């Protein structure tokens, strides 16, 4: 039996007839429902189409209108940066708890499937940071996703 990666509560996979008949391994979530509900999932309809900011409509937000559209990239934000996400990032990124990469892997996979991007590129981190942290936090979320690596050059 596995446990919630955030609070340690024992977890079980939800079993339905469809799940049983699929003959696939049971998928146990990475967190309990109580911990997951602390994260604020961004409504994919009412958001800025350029930067993904949560808002009351689907218009391009004021910030995106002010800044010139010089980039061909579109950002899609999946979660609001609330207290729960701040706690998560502290534990994952700054305290180096690499197990926590599983918390958002399904959310990333679902978003990537929905967006059907040409290319998925995790933003590289500086080699010094990589050496001290031991992992790229974004690549950890994309563990099961086919990604393209950006070529980086170390700067001194």
**Closer residue to Zn ion in complex, CB, 64/89:** 64
Q: How far is the CB of 51 from Zn ion (least distance, A)?
A: 3
Distance CA 57, CA 78 (A): 16
Q: 126-131 long-range contacts, Cβ below 8 Å, gap at least 24?
A: 126/154, 126/155, 127/152, 127/154
Q: How far is the CB of 35 from Zn ion (least distance, A)?
A: 3
The yes or no reply on residue 47 touching Zn ion (CB under 5 A) is no
The yes or no reply on residue 51 touching Zn ion (CB under 5 A) is yes
Q: How far is the CB of 106 from Zn ion (least distance, A)?
A: 15
The yes or no reply on residue 32 touching Zn ion (CB under 5 A) is yes
Distance CA 17, CA 11 (A): 19
State the sign of the Cα–Cα–Cα–Cα dihedral 43, 136, 83, 50.
negative
The yes or no reply on residue 50 touching Zn ion (CB under 5 A) is yes
DSSP for residue 93:
I
Footprint of Zn ion (CB under 5 A): 4, 6-7, 9, 32, 35, 48, 50-51, 53, 61, 64
């Amino acid at each position: 039996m596995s446990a919630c990666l955030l609070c340690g509560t024992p977890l079980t996979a939800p079993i339905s007839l469809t799940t049983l008949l699929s003959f696939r391994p049971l998928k146990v979530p990475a967190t309990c429902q109580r911990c997951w509900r602390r994260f604020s999932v961004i409504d994919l309809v009412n958001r800025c189409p350029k930067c993904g900011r949560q808002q009351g409509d689907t218009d391009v937000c004021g910030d995106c209108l002010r800044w010139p559209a010089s980039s061909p990239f579109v950002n899609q934000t999946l979660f609001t940066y609330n207290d729960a996400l701040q706690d998560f990032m502290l534990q994952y990124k700054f305290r180096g708890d690499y197990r926590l990469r599983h918390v958002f892997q399904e959310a990333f996979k679902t978003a990537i499937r929905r967006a059907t991007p040409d290319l998925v590129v995790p933003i590289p981190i500086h080699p010094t940071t990589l050496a001290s942290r031991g992992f790229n936090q974004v690549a950890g979320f994309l563990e099961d996703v086919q990604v393209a690596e950006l070529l980086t050059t170390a700067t001194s």
